[in-house]
C-alpha cells in the first residue's frame, strides 16, 4: 500500500508494479479527472472557486494583497486542490488530489548543482544520483528547457527577460531551468492556435492543458501496468502491525465537503508513507505517540525545514513593463547560492494587467529546523516553526534584491503581502523533512523499528535542497525503490 499519490508515491507505485507487485494507492484528495460545470477540471488562479481550496470557506492566496487591498474571498467548503495548512508560525501550501503537489506547482524541474548535493543528502552517493537517478527522474517527469530563441521574442516571457536584464546588470548569473510544461503547447498558446492554459493564468489551482503533472507521466505509466489501484477521497488515519503479519491500515472515506462517511480497514504486506513531508510526519508522530507504532525512532518528526522560501516583489520604472500577458510557468532563476545563499525563481504575476512589478520566490540557505510533535489533548500534530526564523532567508534574498534595486534605482513592492509589508515570510511551498533519511529511517527509507514500513517522499530530505525540490524527491525515490525491490521483496 502506498499512502499518497505525489512524487514519491508515484515512483514507488510504478516501480513496484513493474516488478510484479500489486499496489493500492490511497489518496485523501479528489481524482481531478472530471470537468466542473464550466467544462474545465481546474479553476483559474484569478477566479478561485470551490475547486481551489482544501476545506476552507475563504481563500488564502499566497499573494494576499494588491495595491494594499486584500484579495481573499469566500468560497464553498470543498475538498479542493490547494491546501493552505496553517501551523503556529507558517502556512504550508500543498497539493491535494491524485498527483499531489504536481497538480498545483509551477513544474520547475531543477537538479541541484552537484557541489551543493552533499549538504542536501549527506549520506547518499552523489555519483549514483547524478549518473543514474537524476537523469531517470528527469526523463520520467518529462522535464525540458524553454527554446531559447523563442524565449527572446515571446510576449509571455517579457517579465522573465526584464528579470534577466536586471540580474545581469547587477552581475548575477541568470539561469534557465527545465520545466515539465509542454513547450510546444505553450508556443501554440502564444501563437493563438491552442486553448490558453499557462497563458490564461492556470497554475495554482491546477492546469487544464499543457502541464505534465504526475497524472500524465508516472501515474499514467503505473496505471498502464494493470497492477495499480488508486482510491481517492480516502484519508489514512492509522497503520499498525496486523495479527497475522503485515499492517492494518485504517482510513476515512471523505465526502467532498470533508465529512467522514465511512471508516475502512485494509491489510497490506508493506506500507509506503508518501503523504508528503507534512502528511507523513503528522501520521508518524501520531502513531508513535498513540502506541500504534511505538517503536518508531525518536528522530521521527525532526529535521523539518521550509527550503528557505521567501517571496518579494520589486516596483519597476514605467519604462520597464513586465507585460500584461505572463506565462504562469516560470522558466528561469537568479543563482546567488554560492555567494549569498539564495536561488531566486523569476516568478510570474499573471494578473492580466500591466503591474510594472517583478516577482520572485527565493530558495535560501536557512539553517532553522522545526519538529512535529503530537498534541494528544488537542488531537493534532503541531510544528514548532517560528516566523522570526525567516530572517536568514530575508537576509539571503536581500543579497540579490538590495543590489538590483540600488543598480536600477527601484524599490521593493510593499503592497503584495499586506499593507506596507515587503516580505512574504509567512509561508512555504516546499515543506521538506520530518522523517529524515539516515535518521528516522535507514539510508534507503526503511523506517527504524519496523520491517516493511517505508518513507518515500519529501519527508526524507533534511529541510533544504538549494533549489525547487521535486526532482530531488523523485530521484531519491527512484534510488530507494530500486534498492528495496532488489533486497526486500
Helix (H) or strand (E) holding 271: strand 271-273
445 belongs to the binding site for ligand FDA (CB under 6 A): no
Among 41, 236, 311, 344, binds ligand FDA (CB under 6 A): 236
Among 162, 254, 268, 283, binds ligand FDA (CB under 6 A): 283
341 belongs to the binding site for ligand FDA (CB under 6 A): no
Which one from 166, 430, 478, 482 is the annotated catalytic residue?
430
Residue ranges in 290-369 assigned as alpha helix (H): 337-340
In the DSSP assignment, the letter for residue 439 is T
CA distance linking residue 135 with residue 289, whole number of Å: 39
CA distance linking residue 24 with residue 308, whole number of Å: 34
**How many binding residues for ligand FDA (CB under 6 A)?**
40
Among 26, 271, 296, 310, binds ligand FDA (CB under 6 A): 26
Among 470, 479, 481, 482, binds ligand FDA (CB under 6 A): 470
Among 15, 96, 161, 426, binds ligand FDA (CB under 6 A): 96
106 belongs to the binding site for ligand FDA (CB under 6 A): yes
> What is the number of H-type helices and E-type strands within the chain?
12, 21
333 belongs to the binding site for ligand FDA (CB under 6 A): no
Stretch touching ligand FDA by CB under 6 A, among 63-71, 99-107, 264-272, 402-410: 99-107
210 belongs to the binding site for ligand FDA (CB under 6 A): no
For 12, phi and psi rounded to 5 degrees?
-60, -45
Q: State in angstroms the smallest separation of the CB of 158 from ligand FDA.
A: 20
100 belongs to the binding site for ligand FDA (CB under 6 A): yes
Q: State in angstroms the smallest separation of the CB of 91 from ligand FDA.
A: 11
- Return the number of the residue (101 or 170) whose C-beta is nearest ligand FDA: 101
Among 6, 140, 163, 333, binds ligand FDA (CB under 6 A): 6
Active site residue 368: no
Radius of gyration of the chain (CA): 21
- Is residue 434 within 8 Å of 305, Cβ to Cβ? no
CA distance linking residue 113 with residue 411, whole number of Å: 31
Which one from 202, 345, 408, 478 is the annotated catalytic residue?
345
* Dihedral angle, C-alpha 400, 401, 404, 408, nearest 10 °: 180
Number of residues assigned to the chain: 489
- Return the number of the residue (277 or 326) whose C-beta is nearest ligand FDA: 277
CA distance linking residue 261 with residue 57, whole number of Å: 20
- Return the number of the residue (356 or 454) whose C-beta is nearest ligand FDA: 454
Active site residue 149: no
- Return the number of the residue (430 or 446) whose C-beta is nearest ligand FDA: 430
- Is residue 222 within 8 Å of 17, Cβ to Cβ? yes
Q: Which residues of 383-405 are buried (b: 16+ CB within 10 A; e: fewer)?
A: bebeeebbebbbbbbbbbbebbb
Distance of CA 173 to the CA centre of its chain: 25
277 belongs to the binding site for ligand FDA (CB under 6 A): yes
Sign of dihedral through CA atoms 281, 283, 286, 289?
negative
300 belongs to the binding site for ligand FDA (CB under 6 A): no
80 belongs to the binding site for ligand FDA (CB under 6 A): no
- Reduced to 3 states, what is the DSSP secondary structure of residue 380? strand
- What does the angle CA 97 – CA 416 – CA 63 come to, to the nearest 5 degrees? 0
- Return the number of the residue (275 or 344) whose C-beta is nearest ligand FDA: 275
> Residues with catalytic annotation?
345, 430
Residues contributing to the site for ligand FDA (CB under 6 A): 3-9, 26-29, 93-97, 100-101, 104-108, 204, 235-236, 274-277, 279, 283, 429-430, 457-458, 468-470, 473
Amino acid at each position: 500500500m502506498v499512502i499518497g499519490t505525489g512524487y514519491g508515491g508515484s515512483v514507488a507505485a510504478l516501480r513496484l508494479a513493474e516488478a510484479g507487485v500489486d499496489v493500492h494507492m490511497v489518496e485523501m484528495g479528489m481524482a481531478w479527472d472530471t470537468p466542473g460545470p464550466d467544462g474545465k477540471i481546474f479553476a483559474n488562479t484569478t477566479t478561485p472557486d470551490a475547486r481551489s481550496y482544501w476545506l476552507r470557506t475563504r481563500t488564502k492566496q499566497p499573494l494576499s494583497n494588491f495595491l494594499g487591498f486584500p484579495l481573499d474571498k469566500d468560497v464553498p467548503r470543498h475538498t479542493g486542490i490547494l491546501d493552505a495548512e496553517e501551523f503556529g508560525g507558517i502556512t504550508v501550501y500543498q497539493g491535494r488530489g491524485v498527483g499531489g503537489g504536481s497538480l498545483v506547482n509551477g513544474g520547475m524541474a531543477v537538479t541541484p548543482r552537484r557541489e551543493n548535493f552533499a549538504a542536501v543528502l549527506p549520506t547518499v552517493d552523489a555519483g549514483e544520483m547524478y549518473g543514474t537517478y537524476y537523469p531517470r527522474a528527469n526523463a520520467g517527469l518529462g522535464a525540458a528547457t524553454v527554446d531559447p530563441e523563442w524565449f527572446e521574442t515571446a510576449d509571455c516571457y517579457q517579465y522573465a527577460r526584464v528579470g534577466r536584464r536586471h540580474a545581469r546588470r547587477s552581475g548575477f548569473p541568470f539561469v534557465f531551468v527545465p520545466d515539465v510544461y509542454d513547450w510546444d503547447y505553450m508556443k501554440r498558446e502564444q501563437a493563438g492556435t491552442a486553448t490558453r492554459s499557462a497563458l490564461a493564468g492556470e497554475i495554482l489551482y491546477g492546469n487544464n492543458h499543457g502541464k505534465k503533472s504526475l497524472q500524465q507521466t508516472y501515474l499514467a505509466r503505473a496505471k498502464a501496468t494493470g497492477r495499480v489501484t488508486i482510491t481517492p477521497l480516502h484519508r489514512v488515519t492509522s497503520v499498525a502491525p496486523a495479527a497475522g503479519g503485515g499492517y492494518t491500515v485504517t482510513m476515512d472515506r471523505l465526502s467532498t465537503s470533508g465529512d467522514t462517511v465511512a471508516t475502512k480497514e485494509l491489510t497490506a504486506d508493506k506500507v509506503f508513507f508518501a503523504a508528503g513531508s507534512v502528511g507523513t510526519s503528522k501520521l508518524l508522530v501520531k502513531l508513535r505517540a498513540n502506541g500504534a507504532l511505538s517503536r518508531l525512532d525518536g528522530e521521527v518528526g525532526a529535521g523539518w525545514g521550509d527550503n528557505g522560501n521567501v517571496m518579494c516583489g520589486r516596483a519597476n520604472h514605467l519604462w520597464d513593463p513586465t507585460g500584461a500577458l505572463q506565462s504562469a510557468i516560470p522558466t528561469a532563476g537568479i543563482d546567488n547560492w554560492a555567494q549569498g545563499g539564495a536561488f531566486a525563481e523569476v516568478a510570474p504575476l499573471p494578473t492580466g494587467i500591466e503591474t510594472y512589478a517583478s516577482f520572485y520566490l527565493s530558495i535560501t540557505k536557512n539553517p532553522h529546523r522545526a519538529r512535529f510533535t503530537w498534541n494528544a489533548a488537542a488531537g493534532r500534530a503541531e510544528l514548532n516553526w517560528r516566523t522570526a526564523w525567516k530572517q536568514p532567508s530575508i537576509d539571503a534574498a536581500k543579497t540579490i534584491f538590495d543590489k538590483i534595486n540600488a543598480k536600477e534605482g527601484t524599490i521593493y513592492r510593499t503592497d503584495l503581502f499586506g499593507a506596507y509589508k515587503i516580505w512574504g515570510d509567512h509561508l512555504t511551498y516546499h515543506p521538506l523533512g520530518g522523517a529524515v533519511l539516515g535518521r528516522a529511517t535507514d539510508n534507503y527509507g526503511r523506517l527504524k523499528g519496523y520491517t516493511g514500513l517505508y518513507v518515500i517522499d519529501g519527508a526524507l530530505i533534511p529541510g533544504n535542497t538549494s533549489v525547487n525540490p521535486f526532482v530531488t524527491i523523485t530521484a531519491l525515490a527512484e534510488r530507494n525503490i530500486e534498492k528495496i525491490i532488489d533486497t526486500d521483496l
